[in-house]
Each structure stands twice: as structure tokens, then as C-alpha cells.
Amino acid sequence: MGDSASLTGRTMVITGASSGIGRGIALAAARAGADLALTYRSNEAGVRETAADVEAIGRRAVVNHMDLADVQSIHTLAETVSGVFGRIDAWVNNAGADIVTSSGEALSRLDKLDLLLRVDLRGTMIASWKAAELMAAQSDGGVIINISWDHVATGMEGANPQLYSAAKGAITSFSKSLARSVAPRVRVNIVAPGWIETAFGSGVDRGVYRAVAESTPLKRWGKPADVAGAVVFLASPAASFLTGETINVGGGVVM
């Protein structure tokens, strides 16, 4: 398969591509040569903007609505994308519930937990199973990349971190078991972002922002492009002998 990180000739599904990390992954994958299926749940304007930027790079972008809490929505997406492209080389489960900004921040602790388990964990598991099923039928398989959180390895004090640890930690454990189950045809890997400057990072208290940067060995917050670089690598032939692995993208906070 070669040793290049190029995605030329490959097709990818990227869920939650309207903004932030998902948008960053989409742009990086397009620059690497992939044609993309991009999903959104509520921010259609955002995903259309991402798609337009992908097409400006010269790659194909197909926009699909998907709700990770709805099993049929996931299955419909997989069948639609498979029909459009003929195959799926990489599936990135980036979409997740928001419990720290917008209306999610006001939810009770139990409601936040239910939302994370229903969307992030259950949705990722169902999407992974469907992707693995489709890839197993392809002559050269494919790769699934699930998004977790670097702090699941060490823990973090606080109410929201407890909830994220439960959902994202389970995604990491599930992905490792799935990797063993679907090998050798399908690879499954995990990317675990840390402090990334998305909508949450941009809106955080400036004192907290500076403290995070100072406590990070690389002395800054991460950017969506930092996460995207790891995803593109794992989706490429350069990572063809990696499965069940986790790449922490957190500037060294968790080692």
C-alpha cells in the first residue's frame, strides 16, 4: 500500500463536519486528496460552507443529514454514501453531543449523561458497526477512526469531566475491542484531542485560557488542524500497520 499519507482516490465519511474539529478534518482530508461525505444534525449552513471549501480545493463533497441518536439515520447515511461513492475507505466518528455550550450547558447532570451516552457512545458504536460491515465486504477493507478524549487516561476533576470520562472512555475501550473483532480487513483507531480551540476554547475565560496554555508542555491550545493531521495520517496507507491505537492530540498534557 505504500508509505504515503496521501488520501488520493479515497472516500471518507466525516460526521459532524459543520464546524470545529469536524470542519478541520474535512479540509485536511480534501487537501490530502479524499472525496468526502459530510454530515450535520442541525447546522446545515455550517456544513454547506465546509462543503463549498472542500469543492474549492478540488475534491467532491456530498452533504448528508444524520442524527447519531437515530439508528435508522445512521444506516441510511451508510447506504447513501456507499451508493454515491461505491465504497467507503475511511469513516470518522467525530460528531457528538454538546454539553458545554449553547442549550447543552443548562441541562441537568443526568440529562447531560443520558445525552452523551445516547449520542457519543451509542451513536459511535452503531456507526462503527455499520461502517465495519460495509468495509468488510470491500476487497481492501477500510479504516474507522473514533474520537475520544485524552484525559480518559488520567481523569480530570469536575462534573463535566466525569461525564466525558464515562462516554469517551467507553469509546476508547469499545474501539480497541472492535479493532480485534474486525481485523485484519478493517482497522480501527482512536484520536483523543485535549484542549482544542473550538467554540468552547474561544469562549472560555481568558485567565483559564492562559492557565491551560501555560500548563501544556507545548505552551498553547491545540487547533482543529492539529487533530485533523492525526486523522489524515490514520486514514492513509502510512498507518496501514496500526490498529487499536490511540493518538493523543493534546500538546503533551497527557503522555
Instruction: Kindly indicate the confidence band of residue 2, based on its pLDDT and cuts at 50, 70 and 90.
Output: very low
DSSP state, residue 33: T
Instruction: Kindly indicate the confidence band of residue 15, based on its pLDDT and cuts at 50, 70 and 90.
Output: very high
Task: Decide if 3 is inside a domain.
Answer: no
Instruction: Kindly indicate the confidence band of residue 1, based on its pLDDT and cuts at 50, 70 and 90.
Output: very low
Task: Decide if 163 is inside a domain.
Answer: yes
pLDDT of residue 67: 97
- Based on its alpha-carbon atoms, the radius of gyration of the chain, rounded to whole angstroms, reads 17
Active site residue 40: no
Q: Which amino acid is at 104?
A: G
Contact 20, 224 (CB under 8 A): yes
What is the C-alpha separation between 68 and 4, in angstroms, rounded? 32
pLDDT of residue 202: 75
**Domain range for 18:** 11-249
User: Domain holding 132: CATH number?
Assistant: 3.40.50.720
* 234 Cβ contact list (under 8 Å, min separation 6): 143, 145, 189, 191, 242, 247
Task: Give per-residue pLDDT as tens, 70-113.
Answer: 999 999 999 999 999 999 999 999 999 999 887 889 999 999 99
pLDDT of residue 203: 77
Task: Decide if 130 is inside a domain.
Answer: yes
Q: Is the pLDDT of residue 178 over 70?
A: yes
What is the C-alpha separation between 54 and 65, in angstroms, rounded? 17
Task: Give per-residue pLDDT as tens, 44-82.
Answer: 999 999 999 999 999 999 999 999 999 999 999 999 999
Question: How many domains does the chain fold into?
Answer: 1
Task: Give per-residue pLDDT as tens, 127-167.
Answer: 999 999 999 999 999 999 999 999 999 999 999 999 999 99
Residue 15 burial (CB count, 10 A): 26
91, 149, 164, 233: which one is catalytic? 164
pLDDT of residue 216: 98
pLDDT of residue 4: 64
Contact 31, 8 (CB under 8 A): no
Task: Decide if 6 is inside a domain.
Answer: no
Backbone torsions φ then ψ of 136, nearest 5 degrees: -65, -25
Cis omega (within 30 of 0) for bond into 224: no
Task: Decide if 1 is inside a domain.
Answer: no
What is the C-alpha separation between 226 and 248, in angstroms, rounded? 11
What is the C-alpha separation between 53 and 50, in angstroms, rounded? 5
Task: Decide if 47 is inside a domain.
Answer: yes
pLDDT of residue 204: 85
Query: DSSP string covering 58-89, please?
Result: T--EEEEE--TT-HHHHHHHHHHHHHHHS--S
Task: Decide if 255 is inside a domain.
Answer: no
Helix (H) or strand (E) holding 13: strand 11-14
Task: Give per-residue pLDDT as tens, 199-253.
Answer: 877 778 899 999 999 999 999 999 999 999 999 999 999 999 999 999 999 999 9
Task: Decide if 201 is inside a domain.
Answer: yes
Helical H runs in the chain? 20-31, 44-57, 71-85, 109-116, 124-136, 159-182, 199-203, 206-215, 224-235
